[in-house]
Structure 1
Amino acid sequence: MSISGKVDPVVRSVAATDIAEALVEGLRDFQALPIYGLVFGALYAAGGITIVLCLTAFGMVYLAYPLAAGFALIGPFVAIGLYEVSRRRERGEAVSFGAIWSAVRSRNEIGWMAFVTLFVFVIWMYQVRLLIALLLGLHASFSSFQEFMTLVLTTNEGLTFLIIGNAVGAVLSVILFSLTVVSFPLLLDREVDFVTAMVTSVRAVVTSPLPMIGWAAVIVMLLIVSALPYFLGLIVTLPVLGHATWHLYRRLVEPLPA
């Protein structure tokens, strides 16, 4: 039972073929209604560009790499509008930006999940800054991203920073992925509390660990690669992954009885 007293969602196991099929269906949703995907993708990319410009203005351009890696963490939150597009298309309902906004705004528990997502992203960025202070110098500063990468790749301290930072980032990514891969679509689909949604999401990952780890790896790699050319690749990558996540959710969680 969930903390609200309702029956917990039933989780099903999935295979690698389900991941592939979800990706195909996600691409179809994007092709059918591209304007919504392009808008949400552009907003995501614009957010990344804005943050990088701010880092550059404050002389912290060396944080661009960890930002690009950590930016993938908030993807599930940004893609929530895309889940609603797929949900409405699946049901044959009219799709509009107003309808999407109304649906998202009506789910109060989504706000708590957004807080969890942003909290982990903040932790990611703070641990990067802490590692820089501990391993590269308390008052470390770099005039360019190239100077930062040269230090990271050519010194023992830099390589230690790279190894530990990526390891911590991987752990945070797995944790947040496990908490959100099902929770955001579930909160849109039915009335459950955010704790139940997170528990269901973790159960889905535990039930099908290898396929879900593979899905996480696909998401992270595509988002990072898409972020490299000034985040512009995210304009297409985010919507496809967002729609695909909805279809994967449909395979992972049994629908409510009619």
Structure 2
Amino acid sequence: MSNADIDDGGESAGATGNTKRTGTLPEVRALTVADIRTAFNQGYADFLKAPLFGFFFSGVYVIGGLLIAQSLFVWDMPWMIYPVAIGFPLIAPFAAVGLYEVSRRLSTGEPLAWNEILSVIRLQSRRELAFMAFVVLFIFWIWMYQVRLLIALILGRMSFATWESFTQTLFTTPEGWTFLIIGHAVGAVLALVLFSVTVVSIPMLLDRNVDFVTAMISSVRAVAASPMVMLGWGVVVTLMVIAAMLPVFLGLLIALPVLGHATWHIYKKAVP
């Protein structure tokens, strides 16, 4: 398997990571709205070039979401569907690792072989990406924990055994509106933190032989270099994912591959 690009410090960067790891912070550049638009178009083009890979990786994500939703009904916790649905996109960047590898291969002209792409993903479990997965899942756990905490503090004295009673409590009572306002405010902060540390770091860990702390710092620096543009991209991603989840998660079969491929191209533009 061939290596990818050579970074500025002369280190060979590739999905196999056979070279000495460097902790040197790479250069980042500010992005423009035109860069985001171009990256989105490139992501859409990558999806059209390799749709089967897009459907496969997004299908795994969709099936996972459906299983979680079904489990909440089995466990008689239907009121958790809304917070889980809102928090579920938080782990989408990690779920898109396979899509990043597809875009990397398309840009370098390497063959799109299933066994090689899946092998690259499997190898990440022994590299820094495994630590990044822990960071993503930890933030998702914080999101779910604070939802349970807010339910206990704000809605604890109310009874809602069904999804219908829960939604009625949310939208027809002062306590419900308080829960929504505080919950979404806390969720926005967590989403901002997760977006800042993952938008560049996860594709970087796949592409270069750096440690996960260096990757997270580089990701935050990339967001800080063009905050309005990057946060605007984060809003676009959030709205597209939420809209795609409405038809029983099925819209994610297209939205996730396009956004995943586009994120790869944003990374390549932000960290040249």
Q: 1:63 aligned to 80, 96, 109, which one?
A: 80
Aligned residues: 251
Q: Which runs of 5+ in 1 are unaligned?
A: none
- Contact 1:55 1:64 (8 Å CA) reproduced: yes
Q: 2:204 aligned to 186, 196, 199, which one?
A: 186
- Contact 2:46 2:103 (8 Å CA) reproduced: yes
Q: Give the TM-score of the pair, scaled to structure 2.
A: 0.89
Query: What RMSD in Å do the two structures reach over aligned CA positions?
Result: 1.4
How does 1:93-172 map onto structure 2 within 5 Å? 93-107=110-124, 108-137=127-156, 142-172=160-190
Aligned-partner SS, 1:106? helix
CA distance, structure 1, for counterparts of residue 42 and residue 51 of structure 2 = 13
- Contact 2:22 2:210 (8 Å CA) reproduced: no
- Contact 2:131 2:212 (8 Å CA) reproduced: yes
CA pair 83-52 structure 1, distance change in 2 beyond 3 A = same
Q: Which runs of 5+ in 2 are unaligned?
A: 1-8, 10-20
Quote the residue 1:200 is aligned against.
Answer: 218
- CA offset at residue 83 of structure 1? 0.2
Work out whether 1:25 is the aligned partner of 2:36.
no
CA distance, structure 2, for counterparts of residue 69 and residue 160 of structure 1 = 17
Q: Give the TM-score of the pair, scaled to structure 1.
A: 0.94
CA distance, structure 2, for counterparts of residue 41 and residue 141 of structure 1 = 36
Quote the residue 1:225 is aligned against.
Answer: 243
CA distance, structure 2, for counterparts of residue 137 and residue 173 of structure 1 = 25
Work out whether 1:248 is the aligned partner of 2:266.
yes
CA pair 66-6 structure 1, distance change in 2 beyond 3 A = closer
Identity %: 52
Q: 1:77 aligned to 94, 100, 124, which one?
A: 94
Summarize deviations over 1:2-50 as a string: whole Å, max 9, x none: xx65432110110111111111110000001000000111111111100
CA distance, structure 2, for counterparts of residue 5 and residue 109 of structure 1 = 12
CA distance, structure 1, for counterparts of residue 156 and residue 255 of structure 2 = 36
Quote the residue 1:43 is aligned against.
Answer: 60
- Contact 1:68 1:228 (8 Å CA) reproduced: no
The one-letter amino acid of 2:72's match is L
- CA offset at residue 232 of structure 1? 1.1
